[in-house]
Amino acid sequence: MIPVNGMMIVRKQTTKKKAMQIFKKKATKKGSENQFIGGFIPPELSYYINLYSLATEMPKNTVITNCLRNWFDEISEEVPAEVLIELLTKDAVREFKKARSRKDFDYKKFETQVKVELQQRKLSPDHIKEILKAIQNEKNQK
């Protein structure tokens, strides 16, 4: 542990002697259960994450995952997944009601379009099924 401005920063201890390398580069894990989500962040965040990662010898992926895990734990209590699914379901049903009033409406095409859009947005298959089921229920009510 290294004291920095009253905080203790933990650095990984290395015991093996290797060829001289000032800054270590971490290998990426292939075949892990993690998913790439992509996205751009402001330069100041990127620079700080890089700085923190290098100073603590913690992989950037771990730094970002820890931040996201903390955010997720907090926000998922305030806004559970079920609420988000309900919002998306209401949007999909509203679009279904608008679309079915057209003369050339084809339910299968509509359902496929919704499914493809949600898959492209990388929603889980279970969440997609819930949304499609709600549209199907609305269709059956008529």
Q: Domain locations in the chain? A: 39-78, 81-141
For 10-19, 25-34, 47-56, which range has the lowest pLDDT when averaged over its residues?
10-19
In this structure, are residues 96 and 139 in contact, taking their beta carbons and an 8 Å threshold?
yes
Query: Under 8 Å CB-to-CB from 132, ≥6 apart: which residues?
Result: 111, 114, 115
Tell whether the model's pLDDT for residue 116 goes beyond 90: yes
pTM above 0.85, yes or no: no
Q: How confident is the model at residue 54 (pLDDT cuts 50, 70, 90)?
A: very high
Reading the block at residue 59, the tokens are: 């992989």
Cα separation values, 127 from 59, 101, 124, Å: 31, 26, 5
Strand partners, 8: 3
Strand partners, 9: 2
SS3 9: strand
Q: How confident is the model at residue 139 (pLDDT cuts 50, 70, 90)?
A: confident
Query: Under 8 Å CB-to-CB from 131, ≥6 apart: which residues?
Result: 85, 88, 89, 92, 114, 118, 123
Angle between helices 81-100 and 125-141 (to 10 degrees): 40
Query: Under 8 Å CB-to-CB from 23, ≥6 apart: which residues?
Result: 54
